[in-house]
Amino acid sequence: MVFKVLTLFPEVILQATNFSILKRAQQRGLIKIEAINIRDYTKDKHKRTDDYPYGGGYGMVMTAQPIVDAYESIKSSKSHRVIYLTPQGKKYTQDIAKEFSKEEELVIICGHYEGIDQRVIDLIVTDEISIGDYVLSGGEYAALVLIDSISRLVEGVIEKKSVEEESFSDCLLEYPHYTRPYEFRGLKVPEVLLSGNHEKIKKWRRYQSLLKTIKSRPDLINAANLTEEDIEFLIK
């Protein structure tokens, strides 16, 4: 998977992805992260990449020329998805992450100031994506959310089993985790996890998942694939 991020702040993308799982995935050649500086493509003699909005109003708007030129210079035959990160986009979910992870390449445009000239969206953007109902100062933080969540789904980046059991994989939130020590500040690890009985542990985890989902995200439960046993448990 190749991520091509068009940004005014490439170092934000490059530095933040130079750790842990993403660093190892890049070293192993499973993912590639390119940060393209939009400013390098401006034809403005003062190297400007923003201007006042037509019609007046507060703030600055990123101009179309450097973004479109940057895109045209880095696009390839695999650039099928060009994502603009914006609070006005479709809300990002694990299903969208899965869909994007099937691509070989993703072009991601990070906005700044009041956003980008609408004609960039009209000309080259295929997907407008929001990472939530709040406003960030720049698309870089949202791009990092996409890069991280999509990379986890690229084969080999993390263990397959780990992805399969994670929250949202079956429309349920994941069960709670415990590690050593057995007792911490008076709180003990649930006995079932020490029982060595894998069937019992599986059942306990399933029920904990159901309880957590009902409590924190009841909206998810309708889409979950519930068994008769799950329903019986929830009714109780």
Residues placed in the known binding site for S-adenosyl-L-methionine: 111, 131-136
Q: Which is nearer to ligand SAM, 41 or 175 (CB)?
A: 41
- Counts for the chain of helices (H) and strands (E), in that order: 9, 9
132 binds ligand SAM (CB under 6 A): yes
Say how far apart CA 82 and CA 71 lie, in whole Å. Answer: 9
Under the binding rule (CB under 6 A), the answer on residue 112 touching ligand SAM is yes
Q: Near ligand SAM by CB under 6 A, which window of 20-28, 48-56, 133-141, 148-156?
A: 133-141
187 by DSSP, 3-state: which? Answer: strand
- Site size with ligand SAM, rule: CB under 6 A: 19
* Stretch binding ligand SAM (CB under 6 A), from 31-39, 134-142, 151-159, 217-225: 134-142
With a CB cutoff of 8 Å and minimum separation 6, the contacts of 98 are 153
Both tokens of 127, joined, read 């997907």
Answer whether 10's CB lies under 8 Å from 139's CB: no
**How far apart are the C-alpha atoms of 174 and 191, rounded to whole Å?**
19
67-106: contacts with ligand SAM (CB under 6 A):
85-88
Using CB under 6 A as the binding rule, whether residue 10 contacts ligand SAM is answered as no
Give 164's DSSP letter: H
Site residues, ligand SAM (CB under 6 A): 85-88, 110-112, 114-115, 130-132, 134-139, 142
